[in-house]
Amino acid sequence: MPAAIQTPRSSWIEEGLRALGIGGPDAVRIESLAQALGVTKGGFYWHFDGRNALLREMLDSWERVVTEEVIVRVEADGGDARTRLRHLFTIATSIDDMLKVELAVREWARRDQAVAERLRRLDNRRMDYMRSLFGAISSDPADVEARCLLAFSLFLANDYIAADHPGRRSRSTVIKTATERLLM
């Protein structure tokens, strides 16, 4: 008799993140995840002590993907600060699934102090990285801070803005123009 094939730990985490992005932390239910993965929930307990352990690992994974892995990708491509910022902006606007998770985590942080503390640490890490890049463009600390906040706000708020742009301007064109202005 062949050995049973286990659903990898990473599959549970990925499915959990997908559910989080769609319905927030309340949507991350073991039974629902097992059903989506086409397995029994018994396999879940092979990898995790419980739902809270999964939620922690989901946040760890999300944090690694949207911060450390992004920074590694930007730095690996090299270039001057403007080039690296352009690459950062391109990556930030290209990970749609992670933006859904990002917004869900932000909403979750409003209700959960531990998630809020983690989010603050993550946002500070992101801002520190952008400060290092914008600091190579401007020697004015107030200007650097303003550029970082505007860039970060553009990334987060874009999904909430439903405005049309006059003429033949697409949202992506306007965002590209806005980010280029930040790099002047």
Set out the domains of the chain in order of their start, with CATH numbers. Answer: 58-182 (1.10.357)
Can you give the pLDDT at residue 159? 82
Residue 64 clears pLDDT 50, i.e. is over it? yes
Write out the two tokens for 146.
Answer: 């303003």
- Please, are residues 127 and 147 in contact by the beta-carbon 8 Å criterion? no
Distance CA 163, CA 173 (A): 14
* Residue with token string 């989080």: 20
CA–CA dist 51, 70 (Å, integer): 27
Tokens 């690459």 belong to: 87
Q: How far apart, in Å, are the Cα atoms of 105 and each of 4, 102, 118?
A: 34, 5, 10
Could you tell me which of 53, 19, 52 has the C-alpha nearest to residue 34? 19
Mean pLDDT score, 66-70:
94
pLDDT by residue (tens digit) across 75-113?
Answer: 999 999 999 999 999 998 887 678 899 999 999 999 999
* 115 contact partners, CB below 8 Å, separation of at least 6: 59, 105, 108, 109
CB 20 within 8 A of CB 27: yes
pLDDT of residue 5: 56
